[in-house]
């Protein structure tokens, strides 16, 4: 991966904020569709405790992936891409793991399969965020991934 057009002043490229907002909206849409599919196919009731727990798990994972996406790309914008990537990893994995650990102590959450739902939504958000990160990097900076 080579950088062939990053601004020397460290300013973001034109349209950076718009692309970041598009990526965040796409991530939120993917997580919403995953939650609706989970509730329709697995839970089969929108008004149940399991549907609410699934929504909480989806929201936690969407929030953590969104924060990771923002941290990663503001790190790259400030020419600290490695620090941004490591900060993104801290949010991407740290928040869901922390919430899963705390959720296992809450009887209502653990009785409604909260830990399993966090794992499933984490994997969905990780895949979506990875695709969106590559898309955002490709369209925001003039980066070539192949020669």
Answer yes or no: is 36 within a domain.
yes
In 3D space, the residue among 65, 76, 101 whose CA is nearest the CA of residue 12 turns out to be 76
Q: What is the model's pLDDT at position 12?
A: 61
Structure tokens at 79: 């020419």
Answer yes or no: is 7 within a domain.
no
Residue 144 makes CB contacts below 8 A (sequence gap 6+) with 1, 2, 4
| Model pTM score | 0.82
Answer yes or no: is 147 within a domain.
no
Answer yes or no: is 59 within a domain.
yes
Q: What is the model's pLDDT at position 1?
A: 46
Render pLDDT for 32-88 as a digit per residue (tens, 0 to 9). 999 999 999 988 887 788 999 999 999 999 999 999 988 888 777 766 777 777 888
Domain of residue 75 covers: 15-142
Answer yes or no: is 6 within a domain.
no
Q: How many independent structural domains does the chain possess? A: 1
Q: What is the model's pLDDT at position 142?
A: 55
Answer yes or no: is 131 within a domain.
yes
Answer yes or no: is 39 within a domain.
yes
Percent of the chain with pLDDT strictly greater than 70: 82
For residue 120, name the pLDDT band (cuts at 50, 70, 90): very high
For the four alpha carbons of 125, 131, 137 and 140, in that order, the dihedral sign comes to: negative
Can you tell me the mean pLDDT for 18-35? 92
Q: What mean pLDDT value characterizes the chain?
A: 83
Distance CA 104, CA 29 (A): 27
Q: What is the model's pLDDT at position 30?
A: 95
Can you tell me the mean pLDDT for 109-132? 92
Answer yes or no: is 8 within a domain.
no
């Amino acid at each position: 991966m080579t950088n062939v057009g990053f601004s020397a002043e460290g300013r973001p490229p034109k349209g950076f904020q718009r692309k970041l907002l598009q990526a965040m909206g796409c991530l939120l849409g993917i997580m919403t569709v995953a939650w609706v599919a989970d509730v329709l196919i697995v839970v089969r009731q929108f008004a149940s405790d399991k549907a609410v727990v699934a929504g909480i798990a989806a929201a936690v994972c969407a929030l953590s992936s969104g924060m990771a996406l923002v941290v990663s790309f503001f790190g790259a914008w400030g020419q600290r891409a490695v620090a941004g990537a490591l900060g993104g990893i801290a949010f991407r994995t740290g928040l869901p793991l922390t919430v899963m650990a705390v959720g296992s102590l809450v009887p209502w959450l653990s009785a409604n399969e909260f830990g399993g739902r966090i794992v499933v939504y984490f994997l969905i958000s990780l895949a979506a965020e990875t695709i969106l990160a590559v898309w955002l990097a490709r369209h925001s900076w003039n980066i070539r991934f192949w020669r």
